[in-house]
Amino acid sequence: MINSTYFFLGFKSVRSVNGPAIALGCSFLAIGALLKNIGFNFQQSVFSTFFTYALPGQLVMAESFLIGSSLLNIFVGVWLVNTRLFPMGISMFPLLKSKKQPKWKYYVSCHFIAVSSWLIMKKDYKTIHADSRIDFWMGVGTATWSIAIFSTVFGYLISDYLSKDLMIGLAMVNPIFFMCVLIGTMKNNTVISISVILGILLAPIFYLISPEWCILFAGLTAGTIAFFVGEFNE
């Protein structure tokens, strides 16, 4: 069974001043409005967040649908964009592992992996007893997932009152929040500092080589260099 104490502790953690609730809500509000504007009905828009729960993947899906891409191309595009969640899972789930917990909790909670919930867990896991971290994580994930769903519904309903520029701005709130949190941890983490600074410096250089792939190449190069610097210094 789920430990309700730690579950609700995780659930309430999104309400903190530096929590992701507002940023997450703004971005998924934009998703709901965007999906309605390109022709998705209410059920399709809500189920998009319910089952996918990945803002960049949903944006790729919406854009691909808008230009008439095939179902296979949409699937591959969304899958590639969401591969960013794989290293998040690899870095986090070893911290949650406990022999006293049933495996179904880990399988179910995989759905909750997202930037917002990952940030909370990485920040707070040391304060939670090892055997109860999965319950805390399920609370965090349930809260952020619920915010995303309700924000999508709200965005769909008020889409007629949102301009295109406002929707784009709202969609960017969550990525900006993530970047601000990363910058906030730079003073205590050399690896993150190197990766962020190198990414900023390399992106314009790679843009001159390949505008379509510059962000991916800059992030991959900066992250790889930062990783090996961290390994070398340990």
Angstrom distances, CA of residue 66 to CA of 33, 38, 217: 14, 7, 27
What value does the mean pLDDT take over residues 143-157? 94
Q: Are 24 and 116 in contact, with CB atoms under 8 Å apart?
A: yes
- pLDDT at position 216 is 82
Helix (H) or strand (E) holding 189: none
Query: What is the mean predicted confidence (pLDDT) over 29-54?
Result: 90
| pLDDT for the residue 81 | 83
- In angstroms, the CA 52 to CA 36 distance is 17
Dihedral sign, CA of 196, 187, 129, 230? positive
Give the orientation angle of helix 133-157 with respect to helix 4-12, to 10 degrees: 40
CA angle, 103 then 106 then 108, to 5°: 110
pLDDT of residue 137: 93
Say if CB 198 and CB 225 are below 8 A apart. Answer: yes
Predicted local confidence at residue 186, as pLDDT: 60
Give the pLDDT confidence of 156-204 residue by residue, as tens digits: 999 988 888 888 888 888 878 877 777 766 666 677 788 888 988 999 9
Segment 82-124, tens digit of pLDDT: 888 888 888 888 888 888 899 999 999 888 988 888 888 888 8
CA angle 201, 206, 209 (to 5 degrees): 150
Helical H runs in 67-213?
71-81, 85-96, 103-109, 115-124, 133-157, 164-171, 173-185, 190-209
Q: Determine the pLDDT at residue 180.
A: 77
Number of Cβ atoms within 10 Å of the Cβ of 2: 17
On whether the pTM is more than 0.85, the answer is no
Instruction: Classify residue 211 by its DSSP letter.
Output: T
Between residues 229 and 133, the one the model is more confident about: 133
Q: Whole-angstrom Cα distance, residue 195 to residue 22?
A: 26
Residue 82, both tokens? 């969401």
Contact assessment for residue 124 and residue 136, using Cβ atoms and an 8 Å cutoff: yes
Which tokens is 159 given?
A: 């889409």
For residues 148 and 47, is the Cβ–Cβ distance under 8 A?
no
Q: Which pLDDT score, from 0 to 100, does residue 188 have?
A: 61
Task: Convert the pLDDT of each residue in 204-233 to its tens digit.
Answer: 999 999 888 888 888 889 888 988 887 777
Q: Report yes or no: 10 and 143 within 8 Å, Cβ to Cβ.
A: yes
Nearest to 55 by CA among 25, 75, 11, 89: 25
Name the residue ranges covered by the structural domains of the chain. Answer: 4-174, 189-233
Task: Inform me whether the pLDDT recorded for 43 exceeds 90.
Answer: yes
Task: Taking residues 39-56, report their average pLDDT.
Answer: 89
Residue 139: its pLDDT value, please?
Answer: 93
